[in-house]
Every structure is written in C-alpha cells, then in structure tokens.
Amino acid sequence: MTPFSRRNVLLALLAAAILLPPFANVYQLFVANLIVIYVLLAIGLNILVGYAGQLAFANAAMFGIGAYATGLLQVQLGWSFWAAFPCGALIAAVVGLALSLPALRLSGLYLALSTLAFAQATQWVFLHWESVTFGAGGFKTPPLSFAPLPVDKPLGLYYLSLALAVALFLFAHNLVASRVGRAFVAVRDGEVAAESLGVDLLRTKALAFGISGFYAGVAGGLYSAMLNFVAPEGFDLFQMVLHKAMIVVGGLGSVVGSVLGAGVIIVLLEVLRAFKGLQEIVFGALLVVFVLFMRGGLIAVIKRHVRGWEEPLRLVQPPPTRPEAAPAQAQAPASVAER
C-alpha cells in the first residue's frame, strides 16, 4: 500500500487544481495559472538540462519567442489566438532545434556561454526591432474569447493551461521511460560510450533542444494570453535564474520534480514580489544551497522517505499478482556476482 505514492499525490493535486476556481479570487487564480504555465516550462527545461545534461541558458529566450510569436501573429498579421498559439510554439521549437547545432561542437561551459549570449541577442531583438516587436514598451494582445463556450477568459485560459500541462506532463513522463529517455541520459552520463552503442548525438541533442523549445513556446503563448501583454522584461536574465532555480530545487532529471520546483518557486516569487533585490538574493541563494547540499532537489528528499516515487527510465509493467515476483531470486550461475 502506498497511500502517498506519486500517482496518488499528483491526482490529488490535479483534483484540487480542477476544483480551485470557484474558491479562488482573481489574484489567486492568476497565480495558479502562472504556476501551471511554469510547470510546462520547467518540464521542458528539465528534459534538456536534467536528463540530456545540456547546460543551455536559452530557455527564457524561447519562452519569449513563444510569447512574442503568438502575440505578433495576432497583432501584426491578424491571426486568431487559436492559430497563432500553436505556430508560436512551433517557432520556438524550431529555434530550439537550431540551437542544437552549436551544441554538437560545444559542450559544458562553452555551450552555457554561447546560449547565454544567444539569449542576450534575443533580448536585444525584442528591444530594438521596434518596427516589428514594438520595442521596450511592449504591446498588448487582442482579448481572448472562448466563445461559443460560456466561460470568461481567466477561467477558460486556466483550464486550457491545465489541460495542456497535464497532456504534456504525461507525454514527458512516457518519453523519459523509453528508449528516447535512455538515450538522453546516456548522452548526459557518457557521450562517447553512448556513441559506441549507436546513439546518434546530433539527433538526440536536437530532440532534447527541440522539446524544451516547444514546451517553453507553449508556456510563452499561454503567458502572453494570460497577461494580454508582451514586453521584453518578462524574458530577461532574472527569468533565466528563475527557470534554473525551478529545476534545481525541484530536482534535476525528474519530471515530477519540475512540477514541484515550479510550484515552490512561483509561490516564493509572489511572496517576495515587493522586493526585487530580495528576490534576486533568495533565488541566487537557493541555487547555491541546493546545488551544494541537495543536488537531487526536493524530489530526492521525497524519494528517500516516501515510497512510490520512483521514476525509472523504463516502462515498468505492473507486477504479476503472485508475490514471489519481487527481488530476483535467479540463481547466479558464476561467482562473478559477489562482491
């Protein structure tokens, strides 16, 4: 019996999330929606940084590209949100894919710095290509309507975000426990050995970059709809630290950890909203403390104390009904096995 297993806890959280709106005021619904959006983003980033081990700092840029693309397609080209949104996400995914090319030649520090430089360049474009992006002041996006459904925008957007988050969570959850997920971890833990087993580095890295770009793009599109406004300062350096803090605090290399991390960080962010300087100190310190003392993040702590939170990298079939299926009692033929 594992009452507090991951499945049960997540289902409970989901139920709470679904039932939340009637009990929440406007601000609380806003924060909840924000959490859901960042959950999406954190899952994608964790796949790239935590699973595939690619130290990339371009996530805030892709978040921004998703938001800008979604917004600009509506404002400049008159598209409806429902057409602009998937396109925005795809554009962010493509940009992510493009970033995987330098990732082949560069690794570790060089990759971190080049993606950081790329993120800065993206900010620059948002700020200075004023004819298209409206510059530093940003721009408003057209109001979103969920007609013919009888829901108002905040509610509709909340449920849309939630549905997308659940779907993409499940997708990621399946993905990491598969040949693809194992290829990611192989590239992270031993590139040369992975290659010797036939893992194509370019394809694997491209996939990881593309996925994180897509997830960030989806999050960005939703974000632009939520605020009805897009401006460069939402996607700056501070955002980058925020994203990294989410996956480090939640737990690198864990899909559930991303959910946890996003929740914790957003709540903290709102609590500290009044003092930007304090936010920087707290999130910076969180990064340092977790990296030094809690490398596995919160999820590692949970895994140690509560049963049912394992995240295997393979599809674990449900155990047969007979109890002796447990720890392998196969006879080890040679004595190679003992220590």
Partner 1 sequence: MSAAVLSVRDLHIGFGGVKVLEGIDLEVRRGEIRGLIGPNGAGKTTLLNVICGIHRPQQGDIVLNGTSVVGRKPSAIARLGLGRTFQTSQLFRGMTVLENMMTGLHRQTHTGLISAGLDLKRRRREEAQMEKAALDALAFVGMSEFADRPATALSFGQQRVVEIARTLIGEPAVVLMDEPAVGLSANRLTELDALLRRIRDQKGVTLILIEHVIRLVMDVCDQVTVLSSGRCIADGPPEAVRNDRNVIEAYLGKELRARHQAS
Partner 2 sequence: MLLFSYLLMSGVTTGALYALVALGFVVVNKATGIINFAQGEFFMFAGFVAWMLHVQMGVNYALTFALAVGCGFLLGCLTERIAFRPLAKSDIVSLVLATVGIAFVLRGLARLIWGGKADYLSFPPLTSPDPIMVGNIMVIPQQLAVLAGTVVIMAVFTVFFRRTRAGKMMQATADNAKAALLVGIRTDRIYTLSFGTGAAIAAAAAVLTAPLTLLYPDIGFAFFLKGFAAAVLGGLTSLPGAVLGGLLVGVAESMAGGYIHSSVMELSPFVVIMIVLVLKPSGLLGGRAMRRV
d(CA 306, CA 7): 12
d(CA 61, CA 117): 10
Task: Using CB under 8 A, list all residues that contact partner 1.
Answer: 170-172, 174-175, 178-183, 185-186, 188-190, 192-201, 207, 211, 253, 312-315, 317, 327-328, 330, 332-337, 339
Q: CB neighbours of 15 closer than 8 A, spacing ≥ 6?
A: none
Query: Nearest-CA neighbor of 216 among 84, 107, 90, 115?
Result: 90
Decide: residue 31, CB within 10 A, 0-12 exposed, 13-18 middle, 19+ buried: middle
Q: Could you say which of 11, 284, 301, 314 contacts partner 2 (CB under 8 A)?
A: 284
| φ, ψ at 4 (rounded to 5°) | -100, 30
CB count, 10 Å around CB of 267?
A: 13
The nearer residue to partner 1, 211 or 248, going by C-beta atoms, is 211
Q: Is 243 in the site for partner 2 (CB under 8 A)?
A: no
The nearer residue to partner 2, 20 or 185, going by C-beta atoms, is 185
The angle formed by the CA atoms of residues 157, 158 and 163, to the nearest 5 degrees, is 95
User: Can you read off the two tokens belonging to residue 279?
Assistant: 């936010």
The least distance separating partner 1 from the CB of residue 248, rounded to whole angstroms, comes to: 16
d(CA 208, CA 228): 30
Half-sphere exposure of 228 (CA within 13 A, CB side): 8
Residue type present at position 38: Y
Q: How far is CA 313 from the centre of its chain?
A: 18
With CB under 5 to 8 Å by kind, the binding choice for 147 among partner 2, partner 1, none is none
The least distance separating partner 1 from the CB of residue 164, rounded to whole angstroms, comes to: 14
Q: Could you say which of 191, 195, 270, 280 contacts partner 2 (CB under 8 A)?
A: 280
- What residues form DSSP beta bridges with 229? 140
d(CA 8, CA 130): 49
The nearer residue to partner 2, 78 or 108, going by C-beta atoms, is 108
- Binding string, residues 50-89; x marks residues near partner 2 by CB under 8 A: ---x-x----------------------------------
With CB under 5 to 8 Å by kind, the binding choice for 181 among partner 2, partner 1, none is partner 1
Applying CB under 8 A, which part among 49-57, 207-215, 224-232, 310-318 lies near partner 2?
49-57
The least distance separating partner 2 from the CB of residue 94, rounded to whole angstroms, comes to: 18
Q: Could you say which of 16, 18, 19, 117 contacts partner 2 (CB under 8 A)?
A: 117
Q: Is 136 in the site for partner 2 (CB under 8 A)?
A: no
Q: Is 21 in the site for partner 2 (CB under 8 A)?
A: no
Q: Is 244 in the site for partner 2 (CB under 8 A)?
A: yes
CB count, 10 Å around CB of 119?
A: 23
The nearer residue to partner 2, 113 or 325, going by C-beta atoms, is 113
User: Can you read off the two tokens belonging to residue 141?
Assistant: 């996006």
Note the residues at the interface with partner 2 (CB under 8 A).
Answer: 49, 53, 55, 102, 105-106, 108-110, 112-114, 116-118, 120-121, 124, 127-128, 237-238, 241, 244, 248, 252, 275-288, 291-292, 295
